[in-house]
Amino acid sequence: MIPLTRHGWREMAVGTLILAAAAWGLWLLYAPLALLILPVWLWLIAFFRDPTRILPADPNAILSPADGTVSDITTIDFDALLGGPAVRVGIFLSVFNVHVNRSPCDGVVLATKYKPGKFINAMHHNDASSQNESNTILIADANTKKPIAVVRQIVGLIARRIICTVGESDPVTRGQRIGMIKFGSRTELYLPLWLGPRIDVHIGQSVRGAADVIATITAPTAAVALAGASPITGSSPASSPPAPTSEVSA
């Protein structure tokens, strides 16, 4: 059975009723026509699928926050939230992708910010990034509270609803579900350059949320901090180190 996200129960229920009524009407006209509704209903259900993912073992890996296609990779001279130069990786989500968003790394949510806006086609990444309705999640190192990543959920031409399930001061773990965008959209990942992020994807590449690596942290001090050790002494934390791989659940 395909695991489904709880954020789609209403749409699936209402959609099923509407499609069932449409199928009934088509059946009255000509019974075989009712079969045309089946693929539409299957797509509706599949849109809200929420698969369990195996996380990469490398603790310095920054994971993809979404399923989709890498549409752009841009260096930014100054990002206000991260406090300096950054790199942005944009991911376009078609209506056939999984639309659950996930945390790219461990940390704590410093802030979330919703911004009303337009519904420009998310494939036009520059306009969509700056003008569309969006929700921004700022993630910081849990110990130092220094910002280490930004995930921005952006609506598209069809998507009209953003769901964010984390808030200020909430701890997050890499691969954790943090929300979703309904019906085609764009997700952006921003990383500060002081982390020394080595981008491991290319434009046009398909990625899976939590399963694929977007970047690897190469700055020695930053890598130690993200791995859970003290950035000053490099000593290990009291908790046990992470297992080589792990599964995340809702």
190 in Cβ contact with 82 (< 8 Å) = yes
3-state secondary structure of 111: strand
Token code pair at residue 155 = 């609506």
**Structural domain 61-226, CATH architecture:** Distorted Sandwich (2.70)
Please indicate whether residue 185 is annotated as part of the active site.
yes
Q: Running along the chain, 250 residues long, what does each successive block of 10 average in pLDDT?
A: 84 93 93 93 89 93 97 95 96 91 97 84 65 92 95 78 93 96 87 96 97 93 51 31 35
Token code pair at residue 31 = 């019974």
Token code pair at residue 207 = 């990625």
Active-site residue among 185, 206, 240, 246?
Answer: 185
- pLDDT at residue 130 in the model: 73
What is the pTM (predicted TM-score) of this model? 0.82
Token code pair at residue 203 = 């434009």
18 CB-near residues (< 8 Å, 6+ apart): none
Q: Where are the domains of the chain?
A: 6-47, 61-226
209 in Cβ contact with 54 (< 8 Å) = no
Token code pair at residue 101 = 């968003």
138 in Cβ contact with 110 (< 8 Å) = yes
Tell me the C-alpha distance between 88 and 79, whole Å: 10
